[in-house]
Structures are given as structure tokens and as C-alpha cells.
Amino acid sequence: MLALHRRKEAVPTVVTGQSRRTRALHLAMVFSSGLLLAACGGNGDTPPPVASACSGAISNATGKWVTVANNSFVPPGVVGKSFFSFNQPSINRDGKVVFRARAKAAGGGAGGEPHRGVWAVDLCSSPALQTIIDNSTVVPAPNNTGETFIETPSIPRIDISSPLLASRGNSQPVWNYTDPITQLESRSGTTGIFTWINGPLATGVNILGNLPDFSYFQVPGAPAGTKFDVFPGSPTATNGRYVAFKGNFTVTENNISVGKTGVYFRDISIPTSPVVGIADSSTMIPGQAVPFGSTAPPSAAAGKIVFTGLDIEDAPTLGGIYVAPLADRPALTAIALIGDPVPDRTGVPVVNANFTKFGEGLAYDGRYVAFWGAWGTDTRALVLNCPADGNKDLIAYCLQANPQGYTAQIPVNQGIFLHDTVSRQTLMVARSGAGEAFQDFLYWVFSGRPPGTGSGDDSDGEPPRWRSSAFAAVDGTRGVLFKGSKSPIPNVTVPSNGIYGAGYASGALTDVIPAIEVGNLVAKLDPGAPAESTVLSVGIEREAVRGGWITLTVSSINPAGESWAGVYATYVSVLSNVPPTN
């Protein structure tokens, strides 16, 4: 019997900052109006064509960073509150940026709860912030209760070649109905995946699949009328019409409730199109007589999907990373498997090194995949302390479970890798280990839903625990960006972590260079930041580099204690042209 799957979600690290002054809404960039940058194919072979309508924005963003949003920005339609916290943004090849953020009154002493939501900025068309979802947005149909959103609990993502956005959303129940068995009035529908493509917001999938009117939302391959319980992680969008996601659900086996998991997609261009299964807990791992016990939130582009699927999440012995077409129960092609030899930067196997772990957050541009992997048995101990701020129920649960902190065992040997799904070549981009420049590529958060509480600020509906994530992004015509922590050097001050990049061309990687590091001056990144500010934290997501556009989030602080945060973008022809901040 398959045990309840407990997924290690690629939970984002929230970057925060608080403005000490009120300033008018502005964008530190020049835009040209007109049509969007022309969409292009997803094979990663050649750079996308540059439409003349976007040439002005590209010119302005070349050689320098431009501000997408920062602490001085006020969400549209909101009075007296400015942004103070940003999650990692995503961008498409047309220069459209989408990000999750929070806003509050200056000083934080008034105004009640933060204003939360998802916003977008089209770098090639308009400087104006677009509200995709916020606290005042009514949940789209089906909704007969008039409820608005409470929270968007994961990072929103955008299609590589269209404006299609996908985001999770939580609310109070959106559907009143009479239970056909008990004849009692019931309410349901507290979470779902929502989409936007030039507006308005629409429901991609929700947890109402057990109701006959919404049977197209039910779990495919499960007993009829089985609904999804939750959609952990971030959904992905592709081809201007598909949303793909991880879904958890529950079935009864031998009078026992058993948790299941899988990877799915749905065609949102057809109002009642059913959810389609890619792989789930009943799918045998290719070449094995063992089903998947763990799946991860996927990434999709150019009509294909990539995901991590394992037999045992915490201690895998089988499975790996797979690519497949968006089709009903398609054949799965392995990208990298548990036990495969670990390649070096030229693709030659490292001596006595075989993959033992893979990360969940896969970057994908339709041809190239960037991923995290580890090998060997050597570990180092890292003590993790409970967060000091955030959801009070989650903090209390963490402190009760880990009063002295939690000691995690970190793989000594780990790395970021690039795989070409056409040539089947895998290259090591960067690694940790003895004598290496990097010590770690994993970052930790404590997240989940405490027992007996609501959905929480960032809950994925799964039990609270420590979760690790690695962060990398890929553009096959330019290279790989990733977040890494440097190895300590005795008597030398090194940045604690930063965003780094390696160029890629003709099947070969260039040396790793820093893009931005903790401790860098912020003035060149954001002239609006308080004087003498230095970088405090950095963040990227799987869709941080596409078609030459790069986007990231940074928080900073200055000697006076003034904090700041923002979302920024630049345009490069090659990764070595990332504008320096020092």
C-alpha cells in the first residue's frame, strides 16, 4: 500500500524590505508602446526575433538594471499601502514579468493585514502595474458565494511564449450545494489554480471535481467523482492554452484512506475540458516494477512537460527526472536517473559518482533543462532555526517541534546541471565539495499547514516541515543562472550567497561568473534605494531568464537600518553581459 506522499515543495524564500519614505509611483525605465515582442518557438536553438515594438525597451534594459517594482510602488486601486515584500518573479520571452508581493501602510503600525496578490508588468508594452489577483479580487466561476481571494500561496508562473499566467489561489468556500446523499446544505471549493491571458481571470482547475456539475475537474484514473485535495507548489503554463500541475488526492483502499499524488494538465481553451493525467501513484516507474511514490510540481514549454518522480521522496532508490509530451498517459523519457553517472563540465563521468538525489524545481525552455542533483554519502550538519516572523500558527508549531532548532544533513557533493533533450548531453554547471568555490545550492524554509488551522499564508495543504529548494533558470541560447552559497575561506570575507551564471554555446559551458551577490552596493541596481544600501538577499525562479530577459528580486539594507526590496530586470545577448552592481 502506498503511504501518504509528503512532497518537498520548492517553496520560495520571501524577500522583504520596508520603505522609510513615501514616493510617487514610477518605473526607472523607458518603454516604447505598440505590439508585444513576437512569440517564438520553444526549441532553444536560436534566439527569438526582436520585434521593433520592443526594441526601445530592450535598448533601455541592455547594460543596466531597470526597476519593475520596489517599495515605493503602490498597488493599483490601493490607498495608503506600498509594497514591502516580493517573491521571485517569472518572465516570458516577450518581457512580461509576473510576481507575488505584499503591501502595507508606511511604518507597519496601521492599515490592518497586508494587501496580498499577484501583479504583472509588460516591459515591452506598458509600464503600468497590472493586478492579476489580490485580496479584493472575486474568485472566478464557479463561485456562487461571492468570495474573494485570501491568499496566493505560491509563486505565479508565465508561459514562455504567450501572456498566459498561472497561479494558485485560496479562499473561503466558493460553492454552496445540497449533498445528494445527506440532503444537507454543504460548502466546498477553498483552493484552485487560476489563469490569466490578457484578462479576465479564469479558473484553471479547482477542488470541486466531486460535484457532477464540475466533473471535468475530477482526478483522472481515480474512482469516479474523486476530487483533488490540494495543488502543491506552483503550476506551470504553456502554448497559450495549457496549465500543468501537481495534484494530491485521497482514495479508499481496504476501508483505509490513502493519499495519492500525480502530475496533470488541462486545456483551458475548452471550458469543460477534463483534467488529463501524465503520471501518478499508479504509474510504474519506467523500466521498473515499482510505482511512483513521489512526484513534484512540473515545468512545461513547447507542448512538453518535465518533472521529478521517485519511488521514495526522502531516500530515493529509483526514478529521476522525466520529459514527456502533453498527452494522456504518455511515454516518459528519462533525463537523469537515480544511479546515473554524474557528468563533469565537459560531460565526462566523474569517478565513483552516481546521482542519489534530485531537486524538484526544474527549469525548462522546451529543449534544455536545468536541475539540482547530489551524489555520494558525505553530509555536513546545518542547524535550522524557526522563522521569527510570518504566520503565527506556523511559527508556534515549528517552535514546539524544534525548540532547539532542527539539524539538517546537507549533501557535501551537489551541483547544478544542464541537460539537452535533443543531444541527450548533460553537463555540470557548478558543484560543491572539497576545494570547490561553492558550498551549497540548497535553501530552507519551514512551511505547511499546522493541524487545526486554516490554509495559512503559504500553505500547500501538507503537514508543516522543513523543506529545501534549489533555484536555477535556463535559456538554451544563453546559459544557466542559479543561486549558490560560496565556500568559506579562512581570513577572507566572501559573499554568503548570490546569483551566478554560466554561458552556453555550441554544446559547451563558459566559466561561472557572479551576477549579483550579498554585500553588493544597490545604487546601480536601484537608484531609488536608500543611500549606501547593500544587498541583503537575492532570489530567482525557474523562469528568471528567457529570450535574453533576466529578472530577479533583491532586498537590501543600509547602515541606518533602512530596508528596501524590489523586482528588477535586464536584457542580455550573452550571460557575460549581465550588468555589474559593484
Burial 175-188 (b: 16+ CB within 10 A, else e): bebeeeeeeeeeeb
Beta bridge partners of 489: 492
Q: Is 222 exposed, middle or buried (0-12, 13-18, 19+ CB in 10 A)?
A: buried
Alpha-carbon gap, residue 492 to 448, rounded angstroms: 38
Are the CB atoms for 428 and 344 separated by under 8 Å?
yes
pTM: 0.89
What pLDDT, on the 0 to 100 scale, is given for residue 28?
A: 33
**Structure confidence at residue 199 (pLDDT):** 85
Determine the 3-state secondary structure of 322 from DSSP. strand
Q: Before 200, cis peptide (omega within 30)?
A: yes
Any idea what the Cα angle at residue 152 is, between residues 147 and 158, rounded to 5°?
A: 120
C-alpha separations of 166 from 154, 163, 380, 409, 538 in Å = 10, 10, 37, 34, 23
Spatial separation of the C-alpha atoms in residues 360 and 469, rounded to whole Å? 7
The owner of cell 503550476 is 235
Total residues belonging to the chain: 582
Q: What are phi and psi of 110, to 5 degrees?
A: -145, 170
Residue 108 confidence (pLDDT): 57
Reported as type and span, the H/E element at residue 228 is strand 228-230
Strand spans (E) along 311-348: 319-325, 333-337, 341-343
Q: Please give the Cα distance from 163 to 130 (Å, whole number).
A: 12
Distance of CA 163 to the CA centre of its chain: 17
Strands 349-358 and 368-375: antiparallel
The whole-number pLDDT of residue 534 equals 97
* Burial (CB count within 10 angstroms: exposed 0-12, middle 13-18, buried 19+), residue 499: buried
pLDDT on residue 21: 37
pLDDT 10s digit of each residue in the chain, 582 long?
A: 333 333 333 333 334 444 333 333 333 333 233 322 233 333 444 444 444 568 999 999 999 999 999 999 999 999 999 999 999 999 999 999 999 999 999 865 545 789 999 999 999 988 789 999 999 999 999 999 999 999 999 999 999 999 999 999 999 999 999 987 888 999 999 999 999 998 899 999 999 999 999 999 999 999 999 999 999 999 999 999 999 999 999 999 999 999 999 999 999 999 999 999 999 999 999 999 999 999 999 999 999 999 999 999 999 999 999 999 999 999 999 999 999 999 999 999 999 999 999 999 999 999 999 999 999 999 999 999 998 877 889 999 999 999 999 999 999 999 999 999 999 999 999 999 999 999 999 999 998 888 876 544 445 567 898 999 999 999 999 999 999 999 998 888 888 899 999 999 999 999 999 999 999 999 999 999 999 999 999 999 999 999 999 999 999 999 999 999 999 999 999 999 999 887
Q: Quick one: how many helices (H) and strands (E) in the chain?
A: 2, 44
